[in-house]
Amino acid sequence: MEVLRVTGAFPLDGGLRIHGAKNSVLPIMAASLLVRGTTVIHNCPKLSDVQVTIRILEHLGCTVTREGSDVTIDAATLDRFDIPDGLMREMRSSVVFLGAILARCGKAEISSPGGCELGPRPINLHLEALKKFGAAIRDEGGNLSCSVSNKLKPCEIHFPTPSVGATENALLVAARCQGTTIIINPAREPEIRDLAEFLTKTGAVIGGVGSGIITVTGTAGGGAAYIEHSIIPDRIVCATYMAAAAATGGDITLENVFPEHVSPITEALRQMGVDISVSGGNIRVISNVHKGRGLTSAKPIETAPYPGFPTDAQAPLMAACLKAGGNTAFVENIFENRYRHCEELRRLGASIKTEGKTAIVSGVKKLKGASLQSTDLRGGAALVIAALSAEGVSHVAQLQHIDRGYESIERDLTALGAKITREVTRN
């Protein structure tokens, strides 16, 4: 079993480049199926979820090669329309292949997706959207079969609540549907814009991204035969290292950042006494602890769809609040089981009370190293942050969760001066 061995109480210092966004690259890799030729994706992070996506593409008949941060996908040889249960269970975002395969092949067969256990995440919004395009869907024991008897038809889709995955599936199908589709109340996350920009390169005309109504005029043909696209920086990875700097009394500069994408995190950290300055695509974070003063509590933090506070940044920011003076309230409005990391943080000496959607963090003077288990992707990152600010040595296990979204968290933190190593244990 692999664990991270973290020796805490060392302030982070230095500079780091943020890798490409996990939540952007995965749907864009699926969208490569709409290109009847070659797609080159730049700034592609080396994540376990990316590797699963590559295996899905190869299963479908595509040829995939990687050179550094560039991944080349040749979808001209696509010869399947199904994804086996084993691959679907490895990550939640695999459901985006439903729209991509349906748009390319006119039919698709998948099983229910897996991913972190964050509570119910039904895909009914995905399925209802696909039905609007004329797809017939059969669900038998968790196995989904989708097909179009004639051809995809443009439509109007009204989401009752914004859904990133459902919006992505709707965009993928609309891009290959002759005519204009209207998507009302779509998700507005930056990753949606990145996908839309990729789809325009395939021949679709897309307007209104980032607003309450998106219009997509699609093309029924194969579009471009060769596309290059560079993935946007990962805003949650950026938020994680900002929180780590705050918690440890650090002074770091993060490069390759879109500062507007992390503005809710920036606002919360500034309330806590963290100095944050922006210069182009760089963010400098200087913690009050670095100046000999302590962090203070932030105003209540409520997670919400973009441009609100991202649910993925809730756990990392909570870790930065563990030693902040006063009480910080968190309200989780997106997922039911997003406080599973709190029990692990208490092992370090954190004072956290949870009830329903609310968690109250009361700052403590010190944390002490402990053995910890990652509960999910962002919860695992929170444990690493807390361990960095604790006295003594901590061990963080269940690294498969963390590896889904961080290219090499120990490499990045070591570059910033952290005492952290990945080790193999017999337990």
N- to C-terminal Cα separation, the chain: 6
Residues paired with 425 in a beta bridge? none
CB 278 within 8 A of CB 39: no
In 10 A of CB 199, how many CB atoms? 26
CB 23 within 8 A of CB 40: no
The single-letter code of the amino acid at 278 is V
Q: Is 116 a catalytic residue?
A: yes
Residues paired with 150 in a beta bridge? none
Give which of 261, 278, 290, 244 is closest to 384, Cα–Cα.
Answer: 244
Task: Compute CA 304 distance to the chain's CA centroid, rounded to the nearest angstrom.
Answer: 15
Cβ neighbors of 291 (< 8 A, separation 6 or more) are none
Evaluate the CA torsion angle 69, 28, 76, 79 in order and state its sign: positive
Alpha-carbon gap, residue 248 to 246, rounded angstroms: 6
Residue 42 token pair: 């730049």
Alpha-carbon gap, residue 230 to 5, rounded angstroms: 34
Catalytic residue among 116, 155, 177, 321: 116
CB 320 within 8 A of CB 294: no
Give which of 310, 317, 329 is closest to 385, Cα–Cα.
Answer: 317
Beta strands 393-397 and 371-373, pairing class: parallel
Instruction: State whether residue 28 is helix, strand or coil.
Output: helix
Catalytic positions: 116
